[in-house]
Structure 1
Amino acid sequence: MNTSARLLRYERILDSSRTMAQLMYLLVSLFLSLGLPLVSALAFPGAVGFGSVATGGTTPFVVTSLADSGTGTFRDAVSVSGRNITFAVSGYINLASPVSLSSSITVNGQTAPSPGVGIMGREISASDKSNIIIRNFRMRQGNLDSDTGKSAFNMGHASNVILDHCSVEYGVWDSIDAVGAVNVTVSNSIIALPIGQQFGAHLETGPVTWYRNLWVSAHNRQPLTKANSQYINNVVYNYQAAYTVANTGGLFSHDIINNYFIAGPSTTSANDDYFQINTNQKAFASGNLLDSNKDGVLNGVAANTIGSAVVLTSPWNPTSQGLATLSAAAAYASVIATAGASPRDQVDAFVVSTVQSLGKTGAIITNQASTGLGNNGYGTL
């Protein structure tokens, strides 16, 4: 190759390198401007949304005892950051006091022998922590907790948190409390039967992804989401108010796609499927259905008018449409079949059966014992 040819080749390589560098710069700038995480690996295969950046822990730790405290217990397991927690035991862990998680924790509830594992009686807190992954885990507070200011799961001011295939019931303050939380996903989970305030979830700051969850029998906050939000393929049953923003002064955008709202015996106004959403908010709404007639048949109609929010003609977040792979009807079937911790226990089976009545059964409760289930309403594991 002569000198002129070599110079031309090097010049082309340099031009190509500049082009790639410019492209990468533009992509990074785009991701940051849209609030998208720059993530090298998912929290786990199949993780979605803003919480998928959570790194969790890597140091193995096996829970070998259902006791409240001591060596080999869940409380012991989460007391040190960086742990990847598995379970050699199954059943309820009956807490006498709240449990605070450390940062960089992975809780692999799916590793527990059948019929699975969960906690009862007190709050699990990830407040002010980061990089939390919790999968296939049951969190059931209930009135065994005398502190009415606590929630079933609290992640106030936490960052990079994902709950997947969890079952969160009998929350006293909220089922999920997440004021000031950043980069959160709640996916494939059951959030049901809150007592006390009777609220589902309260999240502020964000961004947040609510994906393929089953929300059942709450007075309000399904969720209350004061954040840039993705709300995709959820099912809400027997609500008094469902998707809520509470006329906040904050300016947020909401992608609300292919969700199913189903009225139940406690629903006083089916049109409160979207509640307190004012002109400060921007919303893209598509494919949502509302079944308001309580006739035992799934026969919803289009429900895409989001209060007085400014209407967006396309999703605010470019990943939202790709997440919405199911229609609202298909989302109902999928969520009924797969949401929550596996295998399904008595509490989740009870919750799902009320939804399947499609308007005929269900109640907003103040005491888990009113479910009629054994073990003071907690059911048995």
Structure 2
Amino acid sequence: MRLLNPCLLAIGALSPVVAALAFDGAVGFGAIATGGTGGTTVHVTNLDDSGSGSFRDAVSASNRIIVFDVSGYIQLSSAVSLSSGLTINGDSAPGNGIGIMGGEVSASGKSNIIIRHLRMRQGTLDSDSGKSAFNMGKATNVILDHCSVEYGQWDSIDAVSAVNITVSNSIIALPIGQQFGAHVETGPSTFYRNLWVSAHNRQPLSKDDTQYINNVIYNYQAAYTAANTGGDFSHDIINNYFITGPSTTSSSDAFYQMNSGQSVYSSGNYLDSNKDGVLNGAAYNTVGSATVLSAPWASDSLALATLSAADAVTYVLQNAGASPRDELDTFVVNVVKSFGTDGTLYKNQANTGVSNGGYGTV
């Protein structure tokens, strides 16, 4: 068995003893994000793309806690750049919540960002196909929790050269363009209790040391993907449920590009490959030619894995995504509940048949 780098051991040892959590219940490597704690509370008072009271204006300065006095979609005319030291509380919005559509939300190069209950839906309204729904490239200390990320063109989530990130309790679904879920490099990263739906690949692409726990992955062509020639990393893959759908050509691609350079602790994972409309999978922990670890590389991974794979399906289908659940997320969840009989990979959000040109009505 390949010995772990002492630095990685140090990171793993620190993970369960975070001095102050981003919020009560925050987990993983992004839980150390401080956000806008102690800063100014700024209210978003309209759905305008820019100007006084807009979301773009609210996130233009650091050390802020963003709350919403309005509900509905904010349609971007260009990517919106976040500042460092922000807490974005989407659940503060009245009514049916808040969403961002038609452009990238970017935390590129920033640090200490907490985002909760925010819908980020890029789609073809964004003319720049090289952008993603959410970009945290070169960012540090970021946590997304109960977010809904759909219709990403380059990736749903771009986290190249990102350090200390968590994506939890979120829906990452229906990427268009490249049809990729998430691309992570550098890390470490934690993906916890997420729902991944109808992507060609990268759910996520993990070029880092990763915790992947209690996720549900549906209608994949390639699901959890390792670095291939991109480097040697460690992966804790625990109690996840992989469910094939109409777009799945090879069920064994639940684990993809697991070469001999990767070290993997794989336990409690299930695969439902028969597409018969019933959740009735079997244990599946085959990790290709990767080095098999006898224990997780991160010291808190087993403590996080409180749900079995089957219980994770129940929990994630009920709880993942921004609250309250809206039309588009309901569509996504219902596709998964077909357990193999429904689902496709899209190139344009309008093809879903969901209202508002595919974006749904918030």
Q: TM-score range, shorter-chain basis? A: over 0.9
Equivalent residue for 2:4? none
How far the C-alpha of 1:47 sits from its partner, in A, is 0.2
Counterpart check, 1:119 vs 2:79: no
How far the C-alpha of 1:307 sits from its partner, in A, is 1.6
Equivalent residue for 1:75? 56
How far, CA to CA, are the matches of 1:32 and 1:51 in structure 2?
12
Equivalent residue for 1:212? 193
CA distance change for structure 1 residues 247 and 114 in 2, over 3 Å: closer, same or farther? same
How far, CA to CA, are the matches of 1:143 and 1:222 in structure 2?
21
How far, CA to CA, are the matches of 1:38 and 1:295 in structure 2?
44
1:226/1:248 contact within 8 Å kept: no
How far the C-alpha of 1:32 sits from its partner, in A, is 4.5
How far, CA to CA, are the matches of 2:140 and 2:200 in structure 1?
27
Counterpart check, 1:49 vs 2:28: yes
How far, CA to CA, are the matches of 2:272 and 2:265 in structure 1?
20
How far the C-alpha of 1:277 sits from its partner, in A, is 1.2
SS at 2:124 equivalent: helix
Choose between structure 1 and 2: higher helix proportion: 1
Counterpart check, 1:138 vs 2:124: no
How far, CA to CA, are the matches of 1:307 and 1:224 in structure 2?
16
How far the C-alpha of 1:298 sits from its partner, in A, is 0.4
Equivalent residue for 1:7? none
Counterpart check, 1:101 vs 2:82: yes
How far, CA to CA, are the matches of 1:59 and 1:201 in structure 2?
32
Equivalent residue for 2:65? 84
CA distance change for structure 1 residues 285 and 33 in 2, over 3 Å: closer, same or farther? closer
1:31/1:37 contact within 8 Å kept: no
Amino acid across the alignment from 2:231: G
* Alignment counterpart, residue 210 of structure 2, candidates 192, 207, 229: 229
Equivalent residue for 1:310? 291
SS at 1:39 equivalent: coil
How far, CA to CA, are the matches of 1:106 and 1:249 in structure 2?
33
How far the C-alpha of 1:52 sits from its partner, in A, is 0.1
How far, CA to CA, are the matches of 1:275 and 1:282 in structure 2?
13
How far the C-alpha of 1:232 sits from its partner, in A, is 0.1
Equivalent residue for 2:19? 40
* Alignment counterpart, residue 353 of structure 1, candidates 324, 334, 337: 334
Equivalent pairs, count: 354
CA distance change for structure 1 residues 30 and 249 in 2, over 3 Å: closer, same or farther? closer
Amino acid across the alignment from 1:215: W
2:12/2:299 contact within 8 Å kept: no
* Alignment counterpart, residue 300 of structure 1, candidates 281, 306, 330: 281
Q: TM-score, normalised by structure 1?
A: 0.91
Amino acid across the alignment from 1:49: G
Counterpart check, 1:257 vs 2:242: no
Larger Cα Rg: Structure 1 or Structure 2? 1
How far, CA to CA, are the matches of 1:360 and 1:70 in structure 2?
46
How far, CA to CA, are the matches of 1:103 and 1:345 in structure 2?
29
Counterpart check, 1:175 vs 2:156: yes
Equivalent residue for 1:4? none
How far, CA to CA, are the matches of 1:334 and 1:160 in structure 2?
26
Q: How does 1:166-205 map to 2 (within 5 A)?
A: 166-205=147-186
Q: How does 1:333-372 map to 2 (within 5 A)?
A: 333-372=314-353
* Alignment counterpart, residue 66 of structure 1, candidates 47, 70, 74: 47
1:96/1:122 contact within 8 Å kept: yes
2:9/2:297 contact within 8 Å kept: no
Tell me the alpha carbon deviations over residues 70-91 of structure 1, each in whole angstroms, 9 at most, x when there is no partner: 0011000000001001110000
SS at 1:202 equivalent: strand
SS at 1:161 equivalent: strand
How far, CA to CA, are the matches of 1:240 and 1:29 in structure 2?
31
How far, CA to CA, are the matches of 1:32 and 1:344 in structure 2?
35
How far the C-alpha of 1:53 sits from its partner, in A, is 0.3
Equivalent residue for 2:250? 269
Equivalent residue for 1:6? none
Tell me the alpha carbon deviations over residues 315-372 of structure 1, each in whole angstroms, 9 at most, x when there is no partner: 1111000000000000000000000001111100000000000001000000000010
Equivalent residue for 1:159? 140
Equivalent residue for 2:3? none
SS at 2:335 equivalent: helix
Tell me the alpha carbon deviations over residues 178-234 of structure 1, each in whole angstroms, 9 at most, x when there is no partner: 100000000000000000000000000000000000000000000001111000000
Q: TM-score, normalised by structure 2?
A: 0.96
1:37/1:50 contact within 8 Å kept: no
Identity over aligned residues, as a percent?
A: 69
How far the C-alpha of 1:248 sits from its partner, in A, is 2.8
1:201/1:222 contact within 8 Å kept: yes
